[in-house]
Amino acid sequence: MSERPYVIDEMISAKTIAARIEELCVSIRDEFHDTDQLVVVGLLRGSFVFIADLVRELDLPVEVDFLEASSYGNSMESSREVRILKDLRGRVEGRDVLIVEDIVDTGHTLKHVTGLLGSRNPGRLRTIALLDKPSRRETDVTADWIGFSIPDEFVVGYGIDFAQRNRNLPYIGKVRFAD
C-alpha cells in the first residue's frame, strides 16, 4: 500500500492546532484545577507530538506515562481486536487520569483502553482526542475533549503516520493517491 505514490494535502495547519490546544487546555485546567497530580497517558505512537504540546500548555502538576495498543500495522484498515503491546509503568489507582489519543476512528482502541484503566479504580478518568472521525464509529465511545472533528479521510502528520512515515510533519494532512 505504502508503495503507491501519494501526495499530502494540508488539512489543519500547525498554527490552527496550537490555537486549539490553548482552548482545550483552558477547559482541562478547569476540570482538574484541584488535582494533586494528573497522570497524562499518551497512546503510542500517534499521540507523542500532541501530548508534548498538551502538557506544556496545561500548567498543572502532571505525570506522563504511555501505553501502546495494537493499531493498523502497515495497512489503512482498522482492526476490531485491540491488544495491549505496552502497559503503563505507573499505577493509576485513586489518581486522576487523562487518556490522550491521536484519532478516534472506529473507537475500539479508546473504548478498550478506557475500560482497562477504568478497571484499575482511578480517580477522575477523562479522555482527549486530537481528531475525531464520527462517521467511522463502531462503538459508543466519545472523547471528553476533541480537537477537531474531521470527515472520513486518511490523515498523517503531527505524530500520525502512514506506514510509519510522515509523523514529523508539523501539520495534519490528508493522504491523496496520485493515481
Q: Would you please indicate which residues are annotated as catalytic (active-site) residues?
A: 105
What region, left, alpha or beta, does residue 37 occupy, with left being phi > 0 and alpha being psi -120 to 50 degrees?
A: beta
Tell the smallest beta-carbon distance from residue 74 to ligand IMP (Å).
11
* 43 DSSP β-pair partners: 67
* 114 DSSP β-pair partners: none
Indicate whether 155 belongs to the interface with ligand IMP (CB under 6 A).
Answer: yes
Q: Which residues touch 168 (CB under 8 Å, ≥6 apart)? A: 157
Indicate whether 108 belongs to the interface with ligand IMP (CB under 6 A).
Answer: yes
Grid cell, residue 67, equals 501505553
Tell the smallest beta-carbon distance from residue 139 to ligand IMP (Å).
8
- Interface residue with ligand IMP among 53, 96, 105, 132 (CB under 6 A) is 105
- Interface residue with ligand IMP among 154, 163, 167, 171 (CB under 6 A) is 154
Indicate whether 159 belongs to the interface with ligand IMP (CB under 6 A).
Answer: no
CB 151 within 8 A of CB 131: no
> Which residues of the shown chain bind ligand IMP in the complex (CB under 6 A)?
46, 71-72, 78, 101-110, 154-155, 160
